[in-house]
Structure 1
Amino acid sequence: MDNNIRFLTIFTPCENIHLIKDIGMIPYVLYKEFNYNSTIASYNNGEYPYLKTDVKGLKQVFIKQVFKSDFLNLLNFILFNFKKFDVLQVYHFSLKQVFLLYVFKILNFRNHKTRVFLKMDVNDSIKSWKFNFAKKVFYKFLLKKIDLLSLESKKLHEFSVKNDMFGNIIKYIPNGFYDGGTRQDTHYEDKENLIITVGRIGSPEKNNEVLLDGFKEFSKLNNKWKLELIGPIEESFNAYINEFMNDNPDLNGKISFAGSISDRKDLEHRYKKAKIFVLTSISEGFPLVFLEAIKSGCIIVSTDLNTAYDVTDNGRLGGIFTIGNHMQLSKILNEKANDEEKLANDCISIQNFAYENFYWKNICHNIITLINGEIN
């Protein structure tokens, strides 16, 4: 398929450069699987190493920092470059982002391929959004030009539709994973009695104290299981770890802290070894660690985040507990650990579920359809 579509994703200037491996996946897969001419636009903030590895093949253009305002810099970039692209995609819903898409669409009105797409990448905060009359009118006017607006969670999508927040352009499009078309299943026999979590260990929103307390209770009944926390450790959390381990000497050898792992193969190997992935977060958008876990055959045990219901098929392939409730977490872990047959069956079931629902090639095909079919 040769679409000859020139697709541009604007990489928000304030984003960490390392996020380009995630934000770049839509244009990358459109390039790899559908022959789109894909480009990332960003500030020149230094090296972007993932453009040479994870999303190799994406083009990159730099946005000139003419003004102190990021918005004006982006607007200036669009004014001088709109003719070079057919489709513009941005992240995060705001009046400024919607206006940028509107400007691109208006300027490119002679191009019949022109489409605009905003991926919201939002969490529960959307439920508290309030628009005054003037904002509602302005948004309604601007949104008429938007071809696709997406939410990553079924629950938030249902909420937005029920409350008629964005009209009929709002669609459910989850995040995904990509393996280059080389699926390699993880076998349950290769896994260990291991529970892992991955993230910024000790950051307040991750609420890792609940994980440690929950595992402590779980270990009283299951002494053959281990817990590994993977990711950089917040400086302020080290004192808590030391106190916790000193107070629970029986957990020495059962709990380990791996630190930050930048080697993707090493990290993937740890997912493949684990049987259970736990997330104790207070709030999240769509954690990409969920996808890395289910792709590797881990069942998810998570706080009742919106996307936790999506990746566990409403709890069928995992477990969901109330935020902050370590006893409920320990109970779910105990139930999972004591049902070896279901753990084994779920290992392959959740990998099948992952590929059926969260594989980027399928998601991008859906995106193409939703922005008005295969543009020609």
Structure 2
Amino acid sequence: MPTSLLIDQLSASPAVNDAQLHTWASGRRVFVSSLIRDMPNERAAVRDAIESVGAIPILFEDIGAQDITAEEAYLSGVRSSEIYVGLFGSRYGVRMPDGYSATHAEFLEAERQGLRLCLFVSSQDSSQMDGSQRDLIQGAQNLYTTSSWSDSDDLGRRVRRRLTELAADELSPWVRVGPTILRAQEITNDGNAIGITAAVRSNAVHSELVGMRDGRAGSIAFASLTDARAVRFEGLSTRTTTTVIHEEQLQLRGDRSSSSTMRASMNGISADEVARRALEDGLFGTSTLGDASWGTRPTDPLEPIRTMGLDDSVLRPVARLLITEHLLGAASAATVDSFALGPSHQGVRRLRISWTPRQPYVNQPRPEPLTIDGRISGL
């Protein structure tokens, strides 16, 4: 991986119109979690906000009679959703048999399932808050950015705005092409030929793309959130309509001459576990490789961006892209299931990543997901 990257930071927040928002939201299930009796107005406002973008709100009071326990019902609602909206007030709620309140259990399940999280904390006086609720909120804020609300109307507006931001993130995914990282408006991929449409705002990124085209670059890296491989640059056409936007059409093709990645167990430790420890040690500065360290070194996919001082709106998706590139490109993962990079506290962030290793043989069970969870500095 090159030691330097060019990132189109000006394309961090693309606009999403109502038609695009509704197309993205159509059929998406959004689970709403809070104490029901404490927040009837807030839950109604959130329901309206979710429906206004075309998504499906999932609230416990809407779940009909079922022959399962209430705990199983609300956790099933979380598992069937893609987005979690958590509303945290002053009360923790009644503890269930597992020791958690329903709201806390729903939040933990949303984390485990890798849902996109939208967390809102009441702006009321924290001195009136239950101790357990304070612990829950502080734990969430150590990992995620939360938003407050003043009244139900304000909450509804904030939820709609957050859903619009999520739509923009997914409708314009980040990609890597050689030493450049940019937002794509569209990606086509037939397993060999890759087409990318992008509105590039960085002149440096545009110039680098032109240089790869005109210089007939050899094998270069390509990565998205679902694919990572070596490719060859086949073409670039640019339509410039303003002095700040370059509408790019890129054509790439898989480089079949690139060598495949070999992975092996070491000293009785599986190749998947060796890869997990190497990533953990590289990101967090730990020393978990131990006897598996022979021939394997810690791996830090985020090294190229550690000193860039990126804004959070750029840092999170780019960090996710680089780690996904490493896991997919090194054949360590079939899918990257969840990624959470917390806010900076005195230069330290909490990072949690879960992925499912590749299935080595079709007659073997699907591997269990692997996770690393620790604190990272320098971002």
TM-score by length of 1: 0.29
TM-score, with structure 2 as normaliser: 0.29
The structure that is strand-richer by fraction is 2
- Structure number having the greater helix percentage: 1
